[in-house]
Structure 1
Amino acid sequence: MAIDQGAAQMMREDLAALDGISEKKMFGGLGYMRGGHMLTGVVSHGALLYRVGKTRQDVALDLPGVSMMQGNGRTMGGFVILQGDAQADDDLRARLLSMALENAAELPPKE
């Protein structure tokens, strides 16, 4: 499946002010990493992926357009996706990115 270039560009713009971001093909789409930890991504059909962590996932799920990430028929704890018209909300994307950054900061450093 082709990567939604519009969604990928939106994610790149959201991450542009951050240092140390790398882009990697994963999940049949793109993953964006910082310090070796996945922060966000673009998955099938242009859905935006955020690794908010299990401690923040309930807060994230209360936001409009946010649902749990499904992979290979199972729910992926700590990962949420943003779909549809909600993706156009800059503040909503910024809030999810903030949660992903907080999650990554709590993870042990990668060598």
Structure 2
Amino acid sequence: MAFDEELAGRIRSVLAGQVLAGTAGFTEKKMFGGLAFLIGGNMAVSASGQGGMLLRADPEASDELCSHPGVELAVMRGRPMDGWLRVSPEAVASDDDLRRWVQVGVEYASSLPPK
């Protein structure tokens, strides 16, 4: 499945509204079957090729974040991965919900050392 171009555009708009698009270190890159948005080389959020979003978050917050409807740990190579979340299309249907989830990814990626 190809990533959702409309969702990628919505994510890009949210990031532009947060003035990140004009800052050094903000990039887009096709990866994990989707279109990822990186800060300092660290993925913040991605329009996933599996639908919805793949999101980076503080691993310590994974359980709390997964308590929200439509959010679960991402499974990579058969292993659930703390700090990597799948957010369903329904969980980002509204602009407010999308902004909230993108902010989670932005805050975590911004906290990491640049690559």
- For 2:43, which of 38, 51, 54 is the aligned residue? 38
8 Å CA contact retained: 1:68, 1:81: yes
RMSD after superposition: 1.8
**How many residues end up aligned between the 2 structures?**
110
Aligned structure 1 segments of 4 or more residues deviating by more than 6 angstroms: none
Q: How far off its partner does 1:74 sit?
A: 1.7
Q: CA separation in 1, counterparts of 2:94 and 2:68?
A: 11
Q: Deviations over 1:31-86 (max 9, x none)?
A: 11011111000112421111012022222112221111122222122011111322
**1:67 corresponds to:** 72
Gaps of 5+ in 2: none
Provide the TM-score with structure 1 as the length reference: 0.84
Secondary structure of the residue aligned to 2:43 is: strand
CA contact (8 A) 1:56 1:78 kept: yes
Aligned to 2:12: 12
TM-score by length of 2: 0.81
